């Protein structure tokens, strides 16, 4: 019976080593192949068979893309836009992963706010959300990436299947173990397999979340006027726009100067008084000095 158990244990170990080698080989092929896109086929299952021959090429049945979008937008009303954005996120079954709102510096003359949001939206609804933002704000820049993790996903999924098979066979051997020594050996192997299975399954769940939910990094800035993202087409339009901007800048400069003077009055008034006293003292001193140099003639 011991010989029989020893043969079965050896067979299980060999299967585990072969599964591990197969996963490592797929990882090497993945690193050499980069992010090259694989042709699409029928959906559903995409697990490669552990017993596939050495010359068999594994073809992904569905691309696994991790989409990320960066949006920079301007708004004239931060509160209203944030309420609209958050309501739309809820409607699309998404959620806000990170939210930061800055209310401006207390020393700044223009206290416009800006916000940074990290948003997770179902991948098939990303474009719908971007359209909603562009309809309610001024988009100044966009950037999008799509990382293909198909090969990583398939390799991880295959490893999970192999570990589950190995766990099932070890449980069968555990039920048939007769001696304490065999029982301890099988339990040790079972613990190692379950630990690795939990780690690999966690990685697979992370990949699935990254694929199912795209990420949007939304940067919002509150402004008085929207930035013109396109240059005027004609020569005279450019002159007109430049002249108008100059007048606006001049008006803003005068406004800021008046505000500065009014705000600084508590400091300017004492300075003006001290400056006036100094001038009076200097004038009196100058008169005395002139009087000494040019004394008046005595009356006869």
Q: What is the pLDDT of residue 297?
A: 58
Q: What is the pLDDT of residue 256?
A: 73
Q: What is the pLDDT of residue 296?
A: 61
**Least confident interval from 12-26, 177-191, 204-218, 273-287:** 12-26
Q: What is the mean pLDDT of residues 32-56?
A: 36
Q: What is the pLDDT of residue 128?
A: 95
**Least confident interval from 6-15, 150-159, 193-202:** 6-15
Q: What is the pLDDT of residue 262?
A: 84
Q: What is the pLDDT of residue 245?
A: 72
Q: Is a pLDDT exceeding 60 seen at residue 274? A: yes
Q: What is the pLDDT of residue 14?
A: 56
Q: What is the pLDDT of residue 109?
A: 52
The fraction of the chain above a pLDDT of 90, given in percent, is 45
Q: Is a pLDDT exceeding 60 seen at residue 98? A: yes
Q: What is the pLDDT of residue 266?
A: 84
Tens-digit pLDDT profile for residues 205-257: 999 999 999 999 999 999 888 777 665 567 676 777 777 778 777 777 777 77
**Structure-model confidence comparison of residues 265 and 300, the more confident one:** 265
CB 99 within 8 A of CB 115: yes
CB 71 within 8 A of CB 118: no
Token look-up 């301007």 returns 74
- Residue 145 pairs in a beta bridge with 68
Mean pLDDT over each residue of the chain, to the nearest integer: 78
Q: What is the pLDDT of residue 233?
A: 64
Q: What is the mean pLDDT of residues 151-170?
A: 96
CB 5 within 8 A of CB 180: no
**Structure-model confidence comparison of residues 242 and 167, the more confident one:** 167
Check residue 238 and report its DSSP letter.
Answer: H
pTM more than 0.85: no
Q: Is a pLDDT exceeding 70 seen at residue 272? A: yes
- The confidence band for 49, taking pLDDT boundaries of 50, 70 and 90, is very low
Residue 267 to residue 277: CA distance in whole angstroms: 16
Pairing of strands 213-222, 114-122: antiparallel
Q: Is a pLDDT exceeding 60 seen at residue 116? A: yes
Q: Which residues of 64-89 are buried (b: 16+ CB within 10 A; e: fewer)?
A: bbbbebebbbbbeebeebbebbbebb
Residue 116 has, within 13 A of its CA and on its CB side, a CA count of: 4
Token look-up 């009356």 returns 299
Q: Is a pLDDT exceeding 50 seen at residue 51? A: no
**Structure-model confidence comparison of residues 160 and 265, the more confident one:** 160
Q: What is the mean pLDDT of residues 110-137?
A: 92
């Amino acid at each position: 019976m011991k010989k029989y158990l020893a043969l079965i244990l050896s067979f299980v170990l060999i299967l585990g080593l072969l599964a591990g080698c197969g996963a490592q080989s797929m990882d090497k092929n993945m690193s050499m192949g980069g992010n090259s896109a694989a042709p699409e086929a029928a959906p559903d299952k995409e697990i490669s068979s552990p017993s596939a021959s050495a010359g068999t090429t594994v073809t992904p049945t569905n691309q696994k893309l991790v989409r990320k979008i960066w949006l920079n937008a301007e708004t004239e009303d931060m509160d209203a836009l944030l309420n609209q954005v958050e309501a739309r996120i809820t409607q699309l079954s998404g959620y806000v992963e990170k939210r930061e709102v800055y209310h401006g510096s207390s020393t700044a003359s223009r206290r416009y706010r800006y916000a940074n949001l990290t948003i997770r939206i179902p991948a098939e609804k990303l474009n719908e959300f971007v359209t909603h933002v562009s309809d309610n704000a001024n988009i100044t820049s966009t950037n999008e990436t799509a990382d293909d993790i198909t090969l990583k996903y398939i390799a991880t999924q295959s490893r999970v299947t192999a570990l589950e098979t190995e766990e099932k066979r070890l449980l069968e051997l555990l039920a048939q173990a007769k001696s304490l020594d065999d029982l301890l050996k099988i339990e040790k192997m079972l613990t190692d397999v379950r630990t690795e299975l939990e780690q690999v399954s966690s990685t697979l769940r992370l990949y699935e979340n990254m694929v199912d939910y795209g990420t949007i990094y939304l940067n919002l800035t509150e402004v008085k006027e929207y930035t013109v993202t396109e240059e005027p087409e004609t020569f005279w339009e450019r002159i007109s726009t430049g002249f108008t901007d100059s007048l606006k800048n001049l008006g803003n400069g005068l406004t800021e100067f008046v505000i500065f003077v009014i705000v600084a009055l508590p400091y300017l008034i004492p300075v003006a008084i001290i400056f006036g006293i100094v001038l009076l003292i200097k004038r009196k001193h100058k008169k005395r000095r002139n009087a000494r140099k040019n004394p008046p003639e005595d009356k006869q």
